[in-house]
Structure 1
Amino acid sequence: MHAPRSRPDRSPAIPEASMTRFVKLFALGLLLLPNVVGAQQAPRPGSGGNPIDPDAPRPIDALESVWIEELTFMEVRDAIRSGKTTVIVPTGGVEENGPYLAGGKHNYILQQTAEAVARKLGNALIAPIIKYVPEGEIDLEPGTIRYPGTIGVRVETFKAVLTDVSPALRANGFEHIVLIGDSGGNQQPQVEVAEALSAKWTDGKTGIHHIPEYYNWVDRQQWLRERGINEVMQDPGLHDEFSATSIMMLTDPTTVRMEQRIRAGHFSINGVDLAPIPRTLALGSELVDWIADLTVAAINEATGETDGS
């Protein structure tokens, strides 16, 4: 038998000088490693060290907005101190609304109605719209949740969000927390949260109120009929009607697919023509004003205010 031949070593030879440089670089890396790790773990600017004084003066003019998420903490603080001690918590939803309306229908409507309410009150700011709301049981058919784009949460989750958000607003210094819901499934959970927190908050510091007058579809449809808008619900599966479309057009016409519907010859809803556009926009604006007036009156009654001051 022949002894197995040993294979020649074909690995490239590393010059001694290159090996020396490699060792030096490796050692330098080990020395720098703690600094690199420390830099990665260092808090971002403003997140540590000495926090800003909550009472520090505002260095620039305030933005003119009633939406808390658009304001700095100084602007919110100064608004509360100036008398804006009511906060509106609007709840919307993300669900199917047929072939024409965006899934965020309720949220687009609230951009108009909540702002109108706050400005008519004169003493209110608006918390960010809560968009995740109950949309039905996920495992039950048929239901809204089976339509792609519908995103719902359990009633318990929705109530938990309201139950957590409200004490935070109370801690901010708001004296009245107002819940308004643009979707039917939001109403009863809001009632229950308001009742539970009212029973818990017995110190008189903050009141919390659900306002059912905001969500009044019967009177809303009557208001439209009095102005010549007589809808015939032709498709029971169409989650769409004139009031929603006209208000959403004020926020953004693309949310009702205005141009696409005009091109396709579908610029109508429930037998009502949406053209001419200026008429629909004018009715939408009047409707927002009417909803806001009803809601403001109900809020003032709930809070004991009479003039928004």
Structure 2
Amino acid sequence: MRSYATHDLEAGMIGRHGFILAGTVVAVWALSGLLSAASAANASVFLEDQTWTELRDLIGAGTTTIIVPIGGTEQNGPAMALGKHNVRVRFLAEKIAGQLGNALVAPVISYVPEGTIDPPAAHMRFPGTITISDKTFEQLLESAARSFKLHGFKTIVLIGDHGSYQADERLVADRLNAEWRKTPVRVFAALQYYQISQGAYVDKLLSAGATQPEIGTHAGLADTSLMLAIDPSMVRKDRLAAAPKLNAGDGVYGGDPARSSAEFGQLGVDLIVNGTTEAIREFTAKQQPR
């Protein structure tokens, strides 16, 4: 027959073992959480999420394409935030890089040509718009490209969410490709990214029931719907259909955003991501030695 003292001792040992077991479980759980967080960080396609050694190893393992997303900070009417282009191009660049499988995404370039300051023209007439000269913009793109070349990237892809600097993208790509013709490094101005938003996306919207007067060229249904599909927090939904109707005086050009929807916008997301991915693949395939 066991004594009460023996019983108490066994109970204490079981209690301590249970405490140790519970502590071990907690430690393993915490460690797995940390490993998961580290794994998630390493899985990111964004350059700024990597350490320099992680980046070095990724490039060495074949991740040699870098996408340079170009946005802009400008007025987008009373119903859409100033950072529309920056948020949108970052989101879409991530999707494109994910489809490519061997690409990373550089930090968004958010300072771009937006018109003159004196006198203020175009979007510069509205508070919050930031502009730089075409020369400064081109120099910025060139310096970024030279940095990526130095570190081992072979394909540097420029994607621009704004129409004002599409020609600048091409000029920079042509200039650097001519200079680097004896190297394996090439710059691709993926103008298809913007062209799809102005062409195939508009056609898709029309076939889905939107009208040409609604679609517009800036801050209308097409523009606003894309933002709703990507980040609805950037859109002031209560202002979309409220009276008075938004017009050019409000910074909404040639369209009406009242019927904008995430469903309309998703049509554009899919077209832009798939079309740009295909264009990049075609470009890189042409660079392969034969």
Where on the TM-score scale, by shorter chain, does this alignment land: which range? 0.7 to 0.9
Larger Rg: 1
Aligned length: 239
Distance 2:273 2:165 in 1: 19
- Give 2:59's aligned residue: 80
In the alignment, which of 199, 222, 225 is matched to residue 243 of structure 1? Answer: 222
Q: Does 1:91 align with 2:82?
A: no
Q: Does 1:171 align with 2:150?
A: yes
Q: Does 1:208 align with 2:187?
A: yes
Distance 2:240 2:258 in 1: 14
- Give 2:159's aligned residue: 180
Structure 2: which amino acid aligns with 1:102?
A
Distance 1:271 1:64 in 2: 37
Distance 1:203 1:82 in 2: 23
Distance 1:297 1:200 in 2: 26
1:99 CA displacement? 0.8
Structure 2 length normalisation: TM-score? Answer: 0.75
Alpha carbon RMSD of aligned pairs, Å?
2.6
Structure 1: which amino acid aligns with 2:226?
I
In the alignment, which of 207, 210, 217 is matched to residue 229 of structure 1? Answer: 210
Q: Partner of 1:261: helix, strand, or coil?
A: helix
- Give 1:294's aligned residue: 275
- Give 2:259's aligned residue: 273
- Give 2:104's aligned residue: 125
Structure 2, unmatched stretches of 5+, are: 1-37, 247-254
Distance 1:290 1:129 in 2: 21
Q: Partner of 2:266: helix, strand, or coil?
A: helix
Q: 1:305 to 1:64 in 2, by over 3 A?
A: farther
Q: 1:206 to 1:288 in 2, by over 3 A?
A: same
1:82 CA displacement? 2.5
- Give 2:236's aligned residue: 257
Contact residue 232 and residue 271 of structure 1 kept, 8 A: no
Contact residue 76 and residue 82 of structure 2 kept, 8 A: yes
Contact residue 231 and residue 271 of structure 1 kept, 8 A: no
Q: 1:69 to 1:305 in 2, by over 3 A?
A: farther
1:140 CA displacement? 3.1
Runs of 4+ in 1 over 6 A off after TM superposition: 265-269
Deviations 1:223-279 (A, max 9, x none): 211122224159x8x830223222322443221112x437957899716523xxxxx
Q: Partner of 2:213: helix, strand, or coil?
A: coil
Distance 1:172 1:68 in 2: 12
Distance 1:119 1:100 in 2: 31
Contact residue 112 and residue 247 of structure 1 kept, 8 A: no
1:119 CA displacement? 1.1
Distance 1:118 1:289 in 2: 14
Q: 1:180 to 1:263 in 2, by over 3 A?
A: closer
- Give 1:219's aligned residue: 200
In the alignment, which of 159, 173, 176 is matched to residue 197 of structure 1? Answer: 176
Q: Does 1:106 align with 2:85?
A: yes
1:68 CA displacement? 0.8
Q: 1:246 to 1:71 in 2, by over 3 A?
A: farther
Between 144-153 and 133-142, the greater mean CA deviation after superposition: 133-142
Q: 1:164 to 1:226 in 2, by over 3 A?
A: same
Q: 1:160 to 1:254 in 2, by over 3 A?
A: same
Distance 2:186 2:44 in 1: 24
Q: Partner of 1:282: helix, strand, or coil?
A: helix
Give % identity: 38
Contact residue 89 and residue 161 of structure 2 kept, 8 A: yes
Q: 1:263 to 1:156 in 2, by over 3 A?
A: closer
Structure 1, unmatched stretches of 5+, are: 1-59, 275-279
Q: 1:262 to 1:138 in 2, by over 3 A?
A: closer
Deviations 1:150-209 (A, max 9, x none): 100000000010010001011121110011111111101111111111111133231111
Q: Partner of 1:116: helix, strand, or coil?
A: helix
Structure 1 length normalisation: TM-score? Answer: 0.70
Contact residue 116 and residue 288 of structure 1 kept, 8 A: no
- Give 2:49's aligned residue: 70
